[in-house]
Structure 1
Amino acid sequence: MTIPSLRKASSSSSSSSSSSSSSPAAPWQVIALRYATKDLPPGHAVLDPDPHEGEARLDYYIWLCRNGDRTVLVDTGFAPEEGAARQRILLVHPVAALERIGVAPQDVTDVFITHLHYDHAGNLRHFPNATIHLQDAEMAYATGRCMCHARMRKPFAVEDVKTAVEMVYLDRVRFHEGDYTLLPGLTARLVGGHSQGLQILVVDGTTPLVIASDALHLRRYLTDGQIFPVFADYFRTVEGYRVLQELIEAGCEILPGHDPDVLTLYPRLDPDWEDAVVIRKVA
């Protein structure tokens, strides 16, 4: 099977994001940090099967975007206790991973939460100076009547959702409705599907980069007709794949959310550490 590169052969220099500034944005460095993995044999028996077990191997990432002025963390990983309860292998605490590349928790200026599932929205209390960016639809979904159904609430950790609500009351959350410019050179798009308020982040550049998170767990889903078996809305999930295809045609490169091959397709930040790779570098 041919695995798509998730980028168009001839990249475009134009960007679909809008900026409030007439001057070009400072380039963003983007680093992917793998903090955990799930590598169970197919058919592994668990007492309460999780649809995530359908894939034999998933890796878990957080992503860091920085340009000198701002340090944006895309997702915050899961809490160790939550990962252990779900039989995930924690390789390094997300905070420790950031510290290893020289980023202290208090240095993070913005936290972009793609969605509130347990593996993307834990550890929020560790970033005391960050503004947390979240879609209205995601908070409504994670705290509303859909959570009365066990199957729909399974990807969420109640402690993480409670923490997100607490952050609202501490004036730490900035809510968004639909697409918006996060910062010059960073554009958010509401996709939904996997979770009702799932948002992706487009990083400007000669070849714009799309941090797809769970809008695309594995790159092969764009070609093999499969979808990830956890979703809030099937139609919006497949429409999200169409949006990603359109972004590829526009010259973008797509970074999947849980694909192990991210670690082999991009160069290591540190030759001795396989779990940190440079997706975009700055001169």
Structure 2
Amino acid sequence: MRPWDVFALRYAFHDRPARLNFIQAPDPHDAAMPMDYFVWVLRAGGQSIVVDTGFGEAAAKARGRTILRPVGTALAELGVDPGAVEDVVVTHLHYDHAGNLDLFPKARFHLQDREMAFATGRHMCQACIRHPFEVEDVVAMVRAVYAERVTFHSGDAEIAEGVSLHHVGGHSDGLQMVRVETRRGPVVLASDASHYYANMATGNPFPIVYDLGAMTLGWARAKRLAGGDARVIPGHDPKVRTRYPALPGSNGETVCLHLDPV
């Protein structure tokens, strides 16, 4: 089996206190705990798979986030042409994971059945549940469905040799994780199954959650899929950029998850 290289590309951040990142506010409740926003790239044998598509300036302005570099620029700096990408995994349809779909005109999007049903169903009548979604992103995915550019998955699926998707739910009903075979063993991109290392380590979930039970079970599943804690990558933790080697020339904004932690 060919090993994949896996890159985490930071494109935005949000300064915030720790109390916003846990259901049970930690002590001290006003400690700073910023959030990073990533997209991920898997690369092997000339093939590139993009995981999640981030958000753009409109969403950043509306939600008070700071874009450090547009997603398209981050990909180009890694040598990835979004216009040529053929496979994009969308872990879930929240605004920070499913914007910028138009950057990938040739791509086939990989999505869980349950996520599309969730994002277009009755639960979106409730503002507290639909808040992390942007309606135009969901509509863009519906248009991709009608253009026959979406591959739906129901549960677990292999999309390439050494790359598999795993439905976990919890944070969003159709959330999926990505397991990737690398030279150091399987790496699991947990996405928002756990925003931070600390959510899993302390058993204290991030407060945006659809199914709390599924979220807690997802932590254990991520560890099983990765063969332990060390190869589970949370979705938004700035510590990812200090734990893994930086890609040369990226100023620390892109790190190599297929290499051993530093």
TM-score in terms of structure 1 length: 0.83
- Letter of the structure 1 residue corresponding to residue 243 of structure 2: L
- Letter of the structure 2 residue corresponding to residue 268 of structure 1: A
Structure holding more helix per residue:
2
Q: Say whether the 8 Å CA contact 1:208–1:252 is kept in structure 2.
A: no
The aligned counterpart of 1:274 is: 252
Q: Distance in 2 between matches of 1:105 and 1:75?
A: 12
Q: Secondary structure at the match of 2:170?
A: coil
Q: Say whether the 8 Å CA contact 1:207–1:251 is kept in structure 2.
A: no
Closer/same/farther in 2, CA of residues 153 and 251 from structure 1, 3 Å limit: closer
Q: Secondary structure at the match of 2:252?
A: strand
Larger RCO (CA within 8 A; separation ≥ 6): 1
Superposed CA deviations along residues 96-116 of structure 1, whole A, max 9, x for unmatched, are: 110111111122120000000
Instruction: Write the mapping of 1:232-243 to structure 2, written as runs, cut at 5 A.
Output: 232-243=210-221
Instruction: Write the mapping of 1:77-156 to structure 2, written as runs, cut at 5 A.
Output: 77-156=54-133
Structure with greater Cα Rg: 1
Closer/same/farther in 2, CA of residues 252 and 213 from structure 1, 3 Å limit: same
- Letter of the structure 1 residue corresponding to residue 219 of structure 2: Y
Residue in structure 1 matching 2:185, options 207, 224, 239: 207
Matched, 1:29 2:9: no
Q: Distance in 2 between matches of 1:69 and 1:272?
A: 21
Aligned-residue RMSD, C-alpha:
2.0
1:252 offset after TM fit, Å? 6.5
Matched, 1:64 2:37: no
Q: Distance in 2 between matches of 1:187 and 1:252?
A: 19
What are structure 1's unaligned runs of at least 5 residues? 1-23, 45-52
Q: Distance in 1 between matches of 2:166 and 2:80?
A: 26
Structure 1 stretches of 4+ moved >4 Å: 41-44, 248-252
Q: How many percent of aligned residue pairs carry the same amino acid?
A: 44
Q: Secondary structure at the match of 2:247?
A: strand
TM-score in terms of structure 2 length: 0.90
Q: Secondary structure at the match of 2:88?
A: strand
Matched, 1:187 2:176: no
The aligned counterpart of 2:25 is: none
The aligned counterpart of 2:141 is: 164
What are structure 2's unaligned runs of at least 5 residues? 21-29
Superposed CA deviations along residues 74-97 of structure 1, whole A, max 9, x for unmatched, are: 000012101111000111110111
- Letter of the structure 2 residue corresponding to residue 111 of structure 1: V
Q: Secondary structure at the match of 2:185?
A: coil
Closer/same/farther in 2, CA of residues 76 and 256 from structure 1, 3 Å limit: same
The aligned counterpart of 1:14 is: none
Q: Say whether the 8 Å CA contact 1:263–1:275 is kept in structure 2.
A: yes
Q: Say whether the 8 Å CA contact 2:163–2:178 is kept in structure 1.
A: yes
